[in-house]
């Protein structure tokens, strides 16, 4: 697997030429169809026949029904095992396209061309594909690596600000768990604009790639990528249940504040670094009002998280900026105290 910044699509063209597939299937959603596909097609240099497959935009589309429709379309197109699927979109498209490609005829090759910041730095990397089922996120899926990931940062020019900020949370996370310099460069950005972020995308991609290469099946170090996600996911689910969905990155920013405070309460990280992290995140992310959620609801959701065994809540917590421990079991009262701490920031 290669992941590259491909500023003028030369590497994509070379890759397709060398692979020489029978057919290209380009999966898009309605937004990437409008904003990204014309740029891709304008740069694609190939005689290989291609088909465009469009789905509606949004997480609600990441279902078995959509997957079944896509398998059907592929059958109609006589797609054979030498075809190449090109996933052009955010995490919904790369998760869905990767899942469908990795299961159709026991697996055809696919590549990811992420078009959101979250996709570029996180979702398109690491070989996890999947769909949601019965209100459970990513509950059905495969571990299947894309042949390659081509990142064209200019796609970010049309991405709504809220989506840009959501992806930025994962970049901050990469700095916090693995690379202090990356964290410091990001926290010092004057404001979130594509041009400001461009120089740091490659480092963020490489941090994720490096972690995944060491532990593809998430048995040890890959768990550090869950920093901010144990509390973050629980709160994200609660907002969703109350018909007030929030973006994933906003939930992760909240989760990272709580879990940094939790790292401090567990005597892992210094007071000075705790303060630096929390004020750094607050510079970009507003404090969300969560006082109306009951702490018990949050705790119950965390206990049900598929990453936990036997009722224990395990966390990935920071030992210092750039160093993250995993499988840390914590005192429940410290979790409640960390959430209360967040509520009092607002
Ligand atoms: P998304 O794919 O829904 O994209 C967000 C929105 O931006 C959509 O409306 C999309 O149409 C639009 N969009 C995409 N690119 C655009 C562009 N260049 N210009 C304008 N609009 C554009 O969401 P996301 O945040 O990219 O991904 C979230 C998904 O990723 C979730 O389903 C999550 O589970 C998954 N994910 C997977 C992994 C993994 O390891 N597989 C990791 C993290 C997240
Ligand atoms: Zn995440």
Per-residue pLDDT at 289 exceeds 70: yes
> Mean pLDDT, to the nearest integer, of 310-329?
90
Give tens-digit pLDDT for 72-117: 999 999 999 999 999 999 999 999 999 999 999 999 999 999 999 9
Identify the band that residue 159 occupies on the pLDDT scale cut at 50, 70 and 90: very high
Burial class (CB in 10 A: 0-12, 13-18, 19+), 38: exposed
- Decide whether any atom of ligand 1 lies within 6 Å of the 122 Cβ: yes
Task: Give the Cβ contact number of residue 131 at 10 Å.
Answer: 21
> Mean pLDDT, to the nearest integer, of 116-122?
97
ipTM of the complex: 0.99
- Decide whether any atom of ligand 1 lies within 6 Å of the 237 Cβ: no
Nearest CA to ligand 1 atom 5: 90
Q: Say how far residue 56 (Cα) sits from the centre of its chain.
A: 19
Q: Which atom of ligand 1 is nearest to the CA of 249?
A: 25
Give tens-digit pLDDT for 8-45: 899 999 999 999 999 999 999 999 999 999 999 999 99
Contact 76, 23 (CB under 8 A): no
pLDDT of res. 8 = 82
Give tens-digit pLDDT for 186-217: 999 999 999 999 999 999 999 999 999 999 99
For β-strands 136-143 and 323-329, DSSP reports them as unpaired
- Decide whether any atom of ligand 1 lies within 6 Å of the 66 Cβ: no
- Decide whether any atom of ligand 1 lies within 6 Å of the 123 Cβ: yes
- Decide whether any atom of ligand 1 lies within 6 Å of the 99 Cβ: no
> Mean pLDDT, to the nearest integer, of 117-144?
93
Contact 205, 3 (CB under 8 A): yes
pLDDT of res. 309 = 59
- Decide whether any atom of ligand 1 lies within 6 Å of the 62 Cβ: yes
Helix orientation angle between 229-241 and 332-343, rounded to the nearest 10 degrees: 60
Q: Which ligand is nearest to the CA of 137?
A: 1
Nearest CA to ligand 1 atom 22: 159
DSSP label of 220: S
- Decide whether any atom of ligand 1 lies within 6 Å of the 236 Cβ: no
Q: Which atom of ligand 1 is nearest to the CA of 156?
A: 18
Per-residue pLDDT at 70 exceeds 90: yes
Closest C-alpha among 164, 316, 322, 191 to residue 248: 164
């Amino acid at each position: 697997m290669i992941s590259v910044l491909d500023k003028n699509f030369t590497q994509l063209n070379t890759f397709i030429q060398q692979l020489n597939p029978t057919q290209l299937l380009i999966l898009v959603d309605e937004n990437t169809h409008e904003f990204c596909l014309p740029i891709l097609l304008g740069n694609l240099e190939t005689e290989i026949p291609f088909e465009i497959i469009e789905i509606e935009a949004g997480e609600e589309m990441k279902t078995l029904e959509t997957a079944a429709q896509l398998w059907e379309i592929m059958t109609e197109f006589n797609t054979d095992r030498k075809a190449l699927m090109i996933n052009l979109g955010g995490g919904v498209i790369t998760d869905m396209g990767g899942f469908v490609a990795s299961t159709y005829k026991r697996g055809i090759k696919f590549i990811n061309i992420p078009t959101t910041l979250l996709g570029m730095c996180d979702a398109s990397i690491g070989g996890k594909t999947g769909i949601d089922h019965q209100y459970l996120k990513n509950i059905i899926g495969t571990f299947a690596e894309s042949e390659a990931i081509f990142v064209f940062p200019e796609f970010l020019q049309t991405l709504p600000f809220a989506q840009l900020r959501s992806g930025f949370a994962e970049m901050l996370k990469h700095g916090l768990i693995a690379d202090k310099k990356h964290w410091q460069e990001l926290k010092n950005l004057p404001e979130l604009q594509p041009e400001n972020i461009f120089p740091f995308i490659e480092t963020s991609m490489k941090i994720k790639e490096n972690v995944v290469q060491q532990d593809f099946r998430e048995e040890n170090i890959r768990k550090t990528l869950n920093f901010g996600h144990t509390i973050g996911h629980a709160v994200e689910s609660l907002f969703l249940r109350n018909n007030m969905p929030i973006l994933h990155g906003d939930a992760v920013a909240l989760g990272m504040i709580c879990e940094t405070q939790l790292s401090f309460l567990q005597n892992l990280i210094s007071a000075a670094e705790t303060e630096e992290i929390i004020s750094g995140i607050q510079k970009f992310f507003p404090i969300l009002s969560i006082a109306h959620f009951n702490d018990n609801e949050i705790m119950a959701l965390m206990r049900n998280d598929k990453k936990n065994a036997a009722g224990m809540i395990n966390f990935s917590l920071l030992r210092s900026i750039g160093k993250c421990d995993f499988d840390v079991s914590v005192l429940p009262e410290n979790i409640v105290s960390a959430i209360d701490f967040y509520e009092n920031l607002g």
